[in-house]
Amino acid sequence: MHLSILVLASTLVAAPQQIKTEIRGSIEASLVRSHRDAGQALAAQVARLLGWEGDVVRQVHPKDSLKLLFEPGAEPQLLALAYRGQKIEMQAFRFSGYDDVPRFFDAQGKMIEPFLKNNPVPKYVQITEVPQRGRGKRFHNGLDLKAPTGTPIVAPYDGKISRVNWRKRYNGNCVDVIFHKKGTHALFLHLDKIAPGIKAGQRIKAGAPIGTVGSTGRSGAPHLHYELRDKRGRVLNPLDYHGTKPLTLSQDKMKAYQQVVQRYQKLLR
């Protein structure tokens, strides 16, 4: 099985740095050996992209080659990568020309991640974690949507507020909404601020403000933890519940996209 991905950024930074490495062990171990300071953070970004197309454990092999460009700093950001291996062949770049949010697209301008329908954070940057239930993975009950602090959060469906700010030490500022049609509980955790007027018993319409993205409670970085549970309390996967749709760059945006791709490809060579 061969995988091909292309991803990019709409503008070049002044001085992107490059890493070239041969895979020995995991992607993280290989990048940390090549760049002690930025390797771990970059490995997480690479793995998240690959995870939408294949198994980053089983399909990554010794002697696969990886080249990448990144923006240095306290939080290094992946700008471009080229991966060649037994099972995966990939070029990747970041582009923010769709709606001014940096997202990842393939060579034809299609976003790598599935885009959630009725998205509670329309301006989210990246899905950083999905629901996981063991088998070597840590337990995680929700979908994490990365976005800057203050990014608006809206109700994806009509509903009624059930609770506000419970277990704040862990959840931070939080809201529990019951969707009318299926009785599903939607938990919005780690909010920076809750929208004015949000209180238990209030009915809200789809698109109504819930609050803004933050990092309150037990959280390492700004994101929305969006968790769905059915009437029996069973965890649901938002990707299945909402459904997803492809997000593709329009023709008028492709010209700028292709120019940046070509510039990053030249730097990778």
CA atoms of 235 and 115, how far apart (whole Å)? 20
Looking at residue 133, what is its pLDDT?
66
pTM of the model: 0.88
Looking at residue 68, what is its pLDDT?
95
17-112+247-268 domain in CATH 3.10.450.350?
yes
Length of the chain: 269
Q: Give the tens place of pLDDT for each residue, 33-63.
A: 999 999 999 999 999 998 888 888 899 999 9
- Provide the Cα torsion 78, 84, 85, 86; round to 10°: 140
% of the chain with per-residue pLDDT over 90: 71
CA atoms of 236 and 233, how far apart (whole Å)? 9
CA atoms of 140 and 194, how far apart (whole Å)? 23
Looking at residue 198, what is its pLDDT?
97
CA atoms of 249 and 229, how far apart (whole Å)? 33
Contacts of residue 199, Cβ cutoff 8 Å, sequence gap at least 6: 161, 164
> How do the domains of the chain map onto residue ranges?
17-112+247-268, 116-245
Q: Give the tens place of pLDDT for each residue, 194-204.
A: 999 999 999 99
Q: For the chain, which residues score pLDDT lower than 70? A: 1-14, 133-138
Looking at residue 220, what is its pLDDT?
92
Query: CATH classification of 116-245, choosing from 3.40.470.10, 2.40.30.10, 2.70.70.10, 1.10.3720.10?
Result: 2.70.70.10
Looking at residue 134, what is its pLDDT?
55
Go through 188-225 and write b for each residue having 16 or more CB atoms within 10 A of its CB, e for each that does not.
bbbbbebbeebeeeeebeeebebbbbbebbebeebbbb
